[in-house]
Amino acid sequence: MNLTTVHISRSAPGCRLQCLRNQAKIRHRITLSETERRVFRKHKKILVSKWAEMHRYVTMSVLPGRWKNEVTPYMAGVMDASFFPSVQTIIICKPPQWGGTEGVLTCLGYAIDRDPDHSLHLS
């Protein structure tokens, strides 16, 4: 069984006056179940296009169901590039009904699931 130690600062909000006077360290032991540890585990980095094929479902489409990069192969590169560290801006010049909205929604889903600290700016 793995135990995690959480250190609470004496200057933490809500810390009572008795805590401030106490010179001993305050320690709490928290035991996490396997399921809880799995939630906090860092995910392996994968391309957005691969993530989409594993996790993305399209509902409001002519072809509902699992996302398939073979249906819109031109979107895979755009989605993958959106998370490259060297890329700051992506401009898409596209015709209507091209799949741009679904590509952006896929990038948002990826950011929420795999890379929540990534700054994704949409404008």
> What is the pTM assigned to this prediction?
0.62
For 100, list phi and psi in degrees, rounded to 5. Answer: -65, -45
CB-based contact 92:100 (threshold 8 Å): yes
**pLDDT tens digits for the chain (123 residues)?**
555 555 555 555 555 555 555 555 667 778 888 888 877 777 778 999 999 999 999 888 788 889 999 988 999 999 999 888 898 888 888 888 888 888 889 999 998 888 666 665 555
For 107, list phi and psi in degrees, rounded to 5. Answer: -65, -40
SS3 state of residue 1:
coil
The CA distance from 29 to 120, in Å, is 36
CB-based contact 114:120 (threshold 8 Å): no
The CA distance from 8 to 80, in Å, is 40
